Amino acid sequence: MKINNKYFSAAVLKVSGLLLAGMLVPSAAHACACGCSVFDVGTGSMFPDLNGVHTNAASPIFGPGMVSLQYVYSDQNHNWSGTSSAPAANNDDKEIRTHFVTLGWQQMFNRSWGIQAQIPYDFRYFKTKDGAGNIISRSWHQLGDIRVEGVYTGFKQDGSAGLTLGVKLPSGSHTVYSDVADRDTQIGTGSTDLLLGSFYHGHLTKDRKWGWFAQARLDLPLMTQEQYRPGLEVDAAAGIDYHGWSLGRVKISPVAQMIMSERARDGGANSDTPNTGYQRILLAPGIEFNVKPVKFYVDAELPVFQNYSGNQLAAPFLLKMSVSLSY
């Protein structure tokens, strides 16, 4: 396999431009924020597909759309402080296990403009110590925080570069079992957030069998409730995929990507500021199966670097699966 130097050099520069980059207080604490916005970046399988869309960006032709269902499994059961594992006794919280299920919809109106929305429904199990030192647990499930964004893909004729801009709504409750679950353990944040993202994907080789993608996303809380402000979060992903395999009608694409996250500390009287905020780098090998108009994707996201402020629960891995239908 021969990589075209011109393609490769330009790709490396673009990927590099999109990748984004505390006090450590070890003490008994309640801390287990999941950093759920990291699930919104990753493989290019969910980028708009503009094949067949009229070349005139002002065309009234109704463009392509996509519906998707994503599932993510996370079991935060290891106490972490700074860049290493820490004694479980330093954290009153013992486990937070969540099944994230998200219904997605994307509709392009023409070659330049579209809209997308995500409706999450989450299932959570939480184990912690109460004020008397007894281990207790709670389970609940509910609607999460809905995200609605506009999509702009007018930078390039093929729609390979784009921006997203929208809001995260406080549709998820932040008061379930409030006598036990802190605000950073709730499924809903109670905040209205500004969402700003970018993506780019292209080809590394002339035969288009090797591709690359990069994506970045900013989640900035603007309006908050009841003296709790979740930390600003930045997530970015970059990776390569191979499109040279097939089995009958099924196109098979292995994917290798790196995901980076940084979250600032929470603020407000109802936050646990010393035990919030982190930086993470994950490696995510995955595979995609494409039988038009259906795509199925699965990956395992493995942390290779973690730096948590104070004491927080960390997951040894994340599992993500998604299925999408284009129309």
**Mean pLDDT value across residues 7-23:** 38
pLDDT tens readout for residues 165-178: 999 999 999 999 99
CATH number of the domain encompassing residue 292: 2.40.128.130
Instruction: Give the span between the Cα atoms of 240 and 166, in whole angstroms.
Output: 27
Q: What is the mean pLDDT of residues 71-81?
A: 98
Contacts with 100 (C-beta within 8 Å, 6 or more apart), sequence order: 36, 39, 70, 71, 72, 73, 74, 120, 122, 144
First-last CA distance in the chain: 34
On whether the CB atoms of residues 221 and 232 are closer than 8 A, the answer is: yes
pLDDT at residue 159, rounded to an integer: 86
The tens digit of pLDDT for each residue in 205-253 reads 999 999 999 999 999 999 999 999 999 999 999 999 999 999 999 999 9
What are the pLDDT digits (tens) for 134-147? 999 999 999 999 99
Percentage of the chain modeled with pLDDT above 90 = 78
Identify which of 67, 54, 167 has the alpha carbon closest to the alpha carbon of residue 112.
54
> Domain limits at 314?
5-326
Counting the structural domains of the chain, the total is 1
Lowest mean pLDDT among 49-53, 157-161, 284-288: 49-53
CA pair distance 71, 120, nearest whole angstrom: 10
